[in-house]
Each structure stands twice: as C-alpha cells, then as structure tokens.
C-alpha cells in the first residue's frame, strides 16, 4: 500500500518538465493540479513563464487538463483566461476526475502523466489509476487549511518511504 504514495518521478519545478521529455515517453496528455503546482494557492492567474510553458506543450500537440479539488470559481478564474480545460471539485484521490480527464482528452493511461505537489491527492490518485506520476516541490511555502493537514500526513508517509529505502530523490536534499 505504501508504494501507492510513491511518485514515479520528482522534480523541483514544473519548468523542469519539457515537451521533449514527455514525448520520449510517448506522452500526449498532462493532468495537472493547480494550486501550489502551477501557481501559489493564493495566486489568481498564470505568470508569463507559465504561459510560455503551456504554449510549449500546445505547440507539440500535448493536451493539458487542470484537475483541482478547489472550487469552480477558483479553477475557472485561472483556467478560462489561459484556455486550459479544467475539472473542479475533483475529490482527489478519488479516481472519477482522473477518468473524466482521460475521457475528455481521448487518451489512454499510458499516454498521460499526472503532475502535482501532494502525495495524498495527486500522486496517490494518479497511482490508483495506473498513471505515471510526477511530484513537484510546492511553489509556495504556505497552504490552505486542508492542505496543511495533508502535509503533516505526507511527512509521516515520506519518512516511512525513506526508511524503507524507496525515496531516492529526498536523499539529495540537505
């Protein structure tokens, strides 16, 4: 069960994920979290750097869908201006929103990656679906209330993964 919380990859930032990197894996779609993955949880819109990141994938024909546990108002206000499809109130790690995103993108599981900053929602949900998961370091050091609770649980899980020798990327941190 513990391995369901282990991401397939870990990166410091979404900007380390490139279309070329994903094309090598035959990836045609990205399911990404919004808050603290793409922007800080309290940031209203996309940065110019993030807009370029979105465009680089679109130019390569890689579809992006934002899947967030946040409200319709929050997710829509971010996603609509950047013209990225979205699913709100996703209830991750439940699999319904992941299944809907796959269906909407018309892609198979092996053609999609999940990118997120939380083990308990993004990684666990993606792994439950059999999707390739990429965990990113949160872009902000602050979180909303429920995420702060999740982070405490994550620290326990990360400790167990590390003790079992399963957590290789954590060893690089000071």
Checking if the pLDDT of 113 tops 80, the result is yes
Residue 103 corresponds to which tokens in the numbers above?
């269906």
Checking if the pLDDT of 13 tops 80, the result is yes
Q: Helical H runs in the chain?
A: 19-24, 48-59, 72-82, 96-105, 124-128, 145-163
β-pair partners for 104: none
Predicted local confidence at residue 172, as pLDDT: 39
pTM: 0.85
Contacts 24+ apart (CB under 8 A), 90-93: 92/33, 92/67, 92/121, 92/122, 92/124, 92/125, 93/120, 93/121, 93/122, 93/124, 93/125, 93/128
pLDDT tens-digit profile of 22-39?
Answer: 999 999 999 999 999 999
| Structural domains in the chain, sorted by start | 2-168 (3.40.50.1000)
* Per-residue pLDDT band at 171 (split at 50, 70, 90): very low
- How far is 137 from 141, CA to CA, in rounded Å? 10
Q: Is the N-terminal amide bond of 93 cis, ω within 30° of 0?
A: yes
pLDDT tens-digit profile of 74-107?
Answer: 999 999 999 999 999 999 999 999 999 999 999 9
* Per-residue pLDDT band at 143 (split at 50, 70, 90): low
Distance of CA 78 to the CA centre of its chain: 16
Mean pLDDT of the chain: 89
């Amino acid at each position: 069960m513990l391995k369901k919380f282990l991401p397939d990859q870990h990166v410091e930032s979404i900007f380390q994920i490139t279309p070329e990197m994903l094309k090598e894996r035959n990836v045609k779609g990205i399911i990404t979290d919004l808050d603290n993955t793409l922007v800080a949880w309290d940031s209203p819109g996309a940065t110019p750097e993030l807009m370029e990141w979105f465009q680089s994938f679109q130019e390569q024909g890689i579809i992006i869908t934002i899947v967030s546990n946040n409200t319709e108002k929050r997710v829509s206000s971010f996603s609509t201006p950047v013209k990225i499809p979205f699913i709100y109130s996703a209830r991750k790690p439940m699999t319904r929103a992941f299944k809907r995103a796959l269906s909407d993108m018309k892609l198979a599981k092996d053609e999609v990656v999940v990118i997120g900053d939380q083990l308990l929602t993004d990684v666990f949900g993606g792994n439950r679906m059999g999707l390739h998961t990429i965990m990113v370091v949160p872009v902000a050091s602050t979180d909303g209330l429920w995420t702060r609770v999740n982070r405490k649980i994550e620290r326990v899980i990360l400790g167990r993964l590390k003790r079992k020798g399963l957590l290789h990327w954590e060893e690089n941190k000071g």
